[in-house]
Structure 1
Amino acid sequence: MLFAYQRNGAKLRRLPPASEPEAEACLASALWIDLYKPLPGQVEAVRQLGVEVPTLADMEEIEVSSRLYREEGLDYMTVVLPGQTELKEQISAPVCFVLSPERLVTVRHHVPRPFETYPERADKVGLGCARPEQVFLGLIEEIVGRLADLMEGSGRSLDTVSRAIFQPPVATRSHGAPAPERLQELLEQVGREGERLAHIRLALLTLERALGFFAQTVPDRIEQEGLKPAIKSLQRDIAAMEVHADFVSQRVALATDATLGMINLAQNATVKIVSVVAVLFLPPTLVASIYGMNFAHMPELERPWGYPGALGLMLASAAGAWAYFKWKKWL
């Protein structure tokens, strides 16, 4: 799909899909062209504007020279951003920003939410959308804000896990530890937040590198258009978020350890019950074993009270063991 945007006052307006004869002129007037899973015809249309569209394989290269480079006067900056697939699955995938003096071209194969929200907020984010550089920085600012929201969401999710473990409801507290099924749900929730945090940290790292590359490759335009303060502000925001990400990572580790500890306690309680039951049956088993021996002289076998006496002795031995466990507070 191809989305083309043109400046409309202080905002961006999406251009309607053009027919084939009008497509080139429509794209030539666009300030921002967003390619989402582009088709060959759309790639060729953008190539006619002098922009080579990188493939997904090119964008997935991890070498710095493959993600941040200048070619024929165009700056190619690839970052890795969290987003969704067409099936609403959460993934982290590369997005390429191609910056030219005339326009910004973005290439992506998933759906980061900032690409949907930024056009309507272009007048409220960054320095506006009069120039491609401003659109680029405004989109980066929208992405950083989205990452901050995701990190806050992870923090709230971890708060829920912590309350469930350390401050369970009164009804749950009266029955001991949370149920194993609930503990498994909490552990899975912590795992999801840890995975989301890993995606956020990777996105912050790649954004920081892209901003550094942008600041070095276009210093003249940055000074002329007053973009340097905006770049510095974004870099400070990213640095602060990286520190906060470290803090949230520690919370994820604490929540994981606490959840595993509660699972171990629940398992220990189950093993303890089984052990106590086994010990309670040991004295009756001993009595039954004694009277099951085949000795010639066992006087109790000839007495009328022998059978009920053996049963009573078994019951008394089990009750004595149970009372001893209660006295020692093992039960």
Structure 2
Amino acid sequence: MITCYTLVNGMLTPKTITPDEPLPQDALWIDLLSPTDEEEQFLEKSLAVNIPTREEMAEIEESSRLYESERALHMTTTVVSGFSEQQPTGSVLNFVLTPDWLVTVRYAELSAFHAFRTKLSQHPGLHKRSDTIFISLLDSLVDRIADILESVQAHHNRLANAIFREPKPDEEGPKEPKSDLQSILKQLGRSSLLLARLSDSLLGINRLLSYLHRAASEWICREAKAWMKTVERDSRSLGDYQNRMNNEISFLLDATLGLINIEQNGIIKVFSIAAVLFLPPTLVGTVYGMNFENMPELGWHFGYPLALVGMVVSAIIPYAWFKFRGWL
């Protein structure tokens, strides 16, 4: 789908067009969402510039993501999409920037673009040039990353409370259910993967800003340069915040694994003590189950009950010893 934005009464106004329609001469921003081959060819012919395909955008080397051709700056970065649907994935976003217009190519719905459209109506005077539109889009991407980090941090706080929660004494009401440490472990793993994708996004945005400084410093307006510094500062601060969250995840992972080991050790302890308690009665029963001919106890009138008493006493003695030593 091709959405073309033009200035109408000083405000960017969207209009969806098809390859059968001519491209407006005063187009300032052209947004391509999951474009077809026909739409890509139409835009390449109309703008006389190469529009990268999805396969070209997926290349990871910097020379394929940041380059200049035909007076246009080609910049590609990775962004996180699908977070609101609880299915965050990495999506590639491409910018083609010239002093006259901006083209964005994407293959996923991005919340940052929806927020940017709201920003257009609130601050129409800031979006009258291609460079300011580009910086504003990056600013929206950084804001979206900040929102996701805040959500992940709140989720980590809930997981930390579940991990380190002390059980209530019996007199204070019904006991709370035990935390599902296996589920917590999986959630921490998913958070770690999400933070890795966010780190890629922040790194890509920083690379875009650095490249823009070098390649377009001559024609970028003063307002865009000032805005770039703000976006760079926010991006660096989010990078530091994300690193701290990675350390927090490592700590919570270690704590969860430690608690799982403690639970497993407690289970093994119960089986070990049970085995020790039943070992003496088993020995008594084994001795008197041999039925040798010269065993005088076989002829005793009270031999059977005495053997049962001996089994019980042989189990009680080690149990009492364990209680005395504080092992139970």
TM-score over 0.5 (shorter chain): yes
The answer to whether residue 304 in structure 2 is matched with residue 307 in structure 1 is: yes
1:279 paired residue number: 276
The CA deviation at 1:3 is: 2.1
The CA deviation at 1:194 is: 0.6
1:3 paired residue number: 3
SS of the counterpart of 1:226? helix
8 Å contact kept, 1:13–1:119: no
Counterpart CA distance in 2 for 1:203 and 1:126 is: 27
TM-score when normalising by structure 2: 0.91
Which 10-residue stretch deviates more, 300-309 or 290-299? 290-299
The answer to whether residue 154 in structure 2 is matched with residue 156 in structure 1 is: yes
In the alignment, residue 4 of structure 1 is paired with which amino acid? C
Counterpart CA distance in 1 for 2:86 and 2:33 is: 15
Change (3 A) 1:50 1:288: same
| Matched residues, number | 325
Which residue of 228, 231, 241 maps to 1:231? 228
Counterpart CA distance in 2 for 1:233 and 1:246 is: 20
8 Å contact kept, 2:79–2:91: yes
Change (3 A) 1:19 1:42: closer
The answer to whether residue 51 in structure 2 is matched with residue 49 in structure 1 is: no
The answer to whether residue 264 in structure 2 is matched with residue 264 in structure 1 is: no
- Consecutive unaligned residues of structure 1, counting only runs of 5 or more, are none
In the alignment, residue 310 of structure 1 is paired with which amino acid? A
Change (3 A) 1:168 1:320: same
Counterpart CA distance in 2 for 1:5 and 1:241 is: 31
SS of the counterpart of 1:133? helix
Change (3 A) 1:53 1:254: same
1:199 paired residue number: 197
8 Å contact kept, 2:132–2:223: no
1:319 paired residue number: 316
8 Å contact kept, 1:74–1:99: yes
Change (3 A) 1:44 1:168: farther
Counterpart CA distance in 2 for 1:234 and 1:126 is: 19
Which residue of 270, 284, 292 maps to 1:295? 292
Which 10-residue stretch deviates more, 48-57 or 136-145? 48-57
1:1-331 residue pairs with structure 2 within 5 A? Answer: 1-8=1-8, 11-15=11-15, 17-18=16-17, 21=20, 23-26=21-24, 28-47=25-44, 48-84=46-82, 89-122=87-120, 124=122, 128-168=126-166, 170=168, 178-179=178-179, 182-222=180-220, 224-331=221-328
In the alignment, residue 132 of structure 1 is paired with which amino acid? S
Q: Deviations over 1:240-295 (max 9, x none)?
A: 11111110000010111111111111111111111111111101011011112343
In the alignment, residue 211 of structure 1 is paired with which amino acid? L
- State the identity as a percent: 33
Q: Deviations over 1:61-83 (max 9, x none)?
A: 11111000000100000011111
8 Å contact kept, 1:96–1:107: yes
Counterpart CA distance in 1 for 2:38 and 2:289 is: 91
TM-score when normalising by structure 1: 0.90
In the alignment, residue 142 of structure 2 is paired with which amino acid? V
SS of the counterpart of 1:105? strand
8 Å contact kept, 2:49–2:70: no
SS of the counterpart of 1:309? helix
Change (3 A) 1:260 1:62: same
Change (3 A) 1:30 1:126: closer
Counterpart CA distance in 2 for 1:170 and 1:178 is: 11
8 Å contact kept, 2:2–2:18: no
Counterpart CA distance in 2 for 1:325 and 1:158 is: 40
Counterpart CA distance in 1 for 2:19 and 2:91 is: 31
Change (3 A) 1:281 1:9: farther
In the alignment, residue 118 of structure 2 is paired with which amino acid? E
8 Å contact kept, 2:93–2:105: yes
- Consecutive unaligned residues of structure 2, counting only runs of 5 or more, are none
Counterpart CA distance in 1 for 2:8 and 2:251 is: 49
Counterpart CA distance in 2 for 1:126 and 1:262 is: 55
The CA deviation at 1:314 is: 0.4
The CA deviation at 1:59 is: 0.9
In the alignment, residue 207 of structure 2 is paired with which amino acid? R
Counterpart CA distance in 2 for 1:313 and 1:226 is: 93
